[in-house]
């Protein structure tokens, strides 16, 4: 049963809902989890619920007063089309099922603030019925959360036009949060947002990773090799293994985290090569507590995803980023800007070549790189504090509306 306005007048605890479409990878879920943890920590009465399509959501631990609802999973095929991940339904059917579950959950949970990650209309427009409902009822403040880089401006503009995302952003969202700084990159460049929508943009800074208690790190020294979720990490992992195979004196040893989406066949192939390196490279599977491995690392070789970049900055680690360039240039844009600012070193396919020799040189030069903290800008990692303050401001507005 949905809680009505009278319940808010009696001062019920605030409720925040996150929507994270998660068709592939870990980025959206991990970002929503970090935001939910920060907001509930800042307001000990608040609760948060994350709607996620991630197939590995159950492998994560969630903070107290944060929980998740798993939507039926979808996966992207090689030709760019989507299919249901496990259940025997067509993509239209599974999208309709997900849309209905979102509506029901939103009605039952009755949030005060809703934070939508990256997709203004949701996966294949699945959020639109819920957005319309929330707009008509005026029951919640809606926030669109965007990572620092989405894609090239022209490509993004075409994508948003196809999805009618600009119109949805203009109509439904009270605020737009960009989890970065405008001085680093503006992900909305090229989008035809009205002046009023632009005025609703908040540049939060990057989302600092929790630097609380971490577990006992593995034997040191080591460099951490992480392709993030791992689904498209084959080239980077192959490059690192090739470097250690080619140079028997390359050090320190490497600790490789495969990620949950690396295919079993590829993993078997890599395991054989790792075993032949006699301990100079060791590997582990999916590590949901990767913070411990980051904290103990002498350096990092990684891809250029948003969350991994935030971890590099938060743990102040010298890093070599090997960005993917397909299907979008997001990681390359982020890595090239970060290199310009002196935060990381990028291994660029065109400039450096993706060869074993290039990786050997990059790993050998890691100790000479400046730490990110030596180049860091004021406010660069203030995102979690900023958004927690914004939630409190939105809740105050909502409380005034409910009791006015």
Q: What is the C-alpha to C-alpha distance for residues 111 and 108, in angstroms, rounded to an integer?
A: 9
Q: What is the C-alpha to C-alpha distance for residues 173 and 144, in angstroms, rounded to an integer?
A: 6
DSSP state of 59: G
Contact 49, 67 (CB under 8 A): yes
Q: How confident is the model at residue 60 (pLDDT cuts 50, 70, 90)?
A: confident
Inform me whether the pLDDT recorded for 48 exceeds 70: yes
Q: What is the C-alpha to C-alpha distance for residues 111 and 330, in angstroms, rounded to an integer?
A: 32
Among all chains, which residue has been given the structure tokens 């005060």?
112
Which helix H or strand E contains 63, and what residues bound it? none
**Of 161, 163, 173, whose CA–CA distance to 202 is shortest?**
173
Q: What percent of the chain has pLDDT over 70?
A: 91
Digit-coded pLDDT (tens) for 137-190: 998 999 999 999 999 999 999 999 999 999 999 999 999 999 999 999 999 999
For every residue of 10-54, DSSP letters joined together read TTPPPEEEEEE--SSSSHHHHHHHHHHHHHHHHSTT-EEEEEE--
- For residue 232, how far is the Cα from the chain centroid? 15
Rounded to two decimals, the pTM is 0.91
Inform me whether the pLDDT recorded for 1 exceeds 60: no
What was the pLDDT predicted at 3? 35
Domains, the chain, with CATH or none? 5-208+382-403 (3.40.50.2000), 222-374 (3.40.50.2000)
What was the pLDDT predicted at 4? 38
Q: Which residues on adjacent β-strands are paired with residue 281?
A: 254
Digit-coded pLDDT (tens) for 93-121: 999 999 999 999 999 999 999 999 999 99
What was the pLDDT predicted at 401? 61
Q: What is the C-alpha to C-alpha distance for residues 146 and 201, in angstroms, rounded to an integer?
A: 10
Q: What is the C-alpha to C-alpha distance for residues 399 and 388, in angstroms, rounded to an integer?
A: 16
For every residue of 176-217, DSSP letters joined together read EEEES-TTT--TTTT----HHHHHTEEE----PPP-S---PP
Inform me whether the pLDDT recorded for 22 exceeds 80: no
Classify 331 as helix, strand or coil: helix
229-233, 390-394, 396-400: which is most confident: 390-394
Among all chains, which residue has been given the structure tokens 């800042």?
42
For residues 5-36, b (16+ Cβ closer than 10 Å) or e, as one string? eeebeeeeebbbbbbbbbbbbbbbbbbbbbbb
Total residue length of the chain: 404
Both structure tokens of 147: 């990572």
| CA geometry: angle 186, 347, 75, nearest 5 deg | 65
């Amino acid at each position: 049963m949905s809680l009505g306005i009278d319940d808010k007048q009696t001062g019920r605890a605030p409720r925040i809902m996150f929507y994270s479409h998660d068709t592939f990878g870990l980025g959206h879920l991990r970002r929503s989890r970090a935001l939910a943890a920060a907001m509930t920590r800042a307001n000990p009465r608040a609760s948060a619920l994350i709607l996620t399509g991630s197939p590995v959501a159950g492998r994560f631990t969630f903070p107290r007063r944060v929980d998740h609802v798993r939507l039926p999973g979808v996966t992207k095929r090689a030709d760019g089309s989507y299919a249901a991940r496990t259940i025997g339904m067509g993509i239209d059917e599974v999208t309709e099922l997900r849309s209905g579950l979102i509506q029901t959950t939103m009605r039952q949970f009755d949030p005060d603030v809703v934070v939508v990650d990256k997709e203004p209309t949701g996966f294949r427009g699945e959020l639109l019925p819920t957005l319309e409902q929330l707009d008509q009822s005026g029951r919640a403040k809606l926030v669109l959360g965007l990572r620092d880089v989405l894609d090239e401006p022209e490509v993004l503009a075409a994508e948003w036009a196809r999805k009618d995302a600009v119109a949805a952003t203009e109509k439904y969202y009270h605020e737009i949060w960009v989890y970065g700084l405008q001085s680093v990159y503006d992900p909305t460049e090229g989008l035809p947002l009205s002046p009023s929508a632009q005025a609703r943009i908040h540049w939060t800074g990057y989302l600092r990773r929790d630097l609380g208690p971490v577990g006992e790190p593995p034997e040191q020294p080591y460099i951490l090799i992480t392709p993030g979720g791992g689904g498209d990490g084959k080239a980077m992992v192959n490059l690192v293994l090739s470097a250690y195979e080619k140079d028997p004196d390359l050090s320190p040893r490497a600790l490789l985290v495969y990620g949950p989406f690396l295919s079993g066949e590829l993993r078997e192939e890599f395991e054989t090569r790792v075993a032949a390196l006699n301990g100079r490279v060791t590997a582990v599977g999916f590590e949901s507590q990767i913070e411990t491995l980051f904290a103990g690392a002498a350096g990092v070789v990684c891809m250029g995803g948003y969350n991994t970049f935030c971890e590099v900055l938060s743990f102040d680690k010298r890093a070599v980023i090997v960005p993917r360039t397909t299907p979008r240039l997001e990681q390359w844009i982020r890595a090239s800007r970060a290199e310009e600012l002196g935060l990381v070193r990028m291994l660029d396919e065109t400039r450096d070549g993706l060869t074993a020799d290039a990786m050997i040189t990059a790993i050998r030069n890691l100790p000479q790189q400046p730490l990110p903290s030596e180049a860091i800008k004021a406010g660069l990692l203030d995102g979690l504090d900023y958004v927690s303050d914004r939630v409190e401001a939105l809740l105050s507005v909502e409380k005034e509306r409910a009791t006015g």
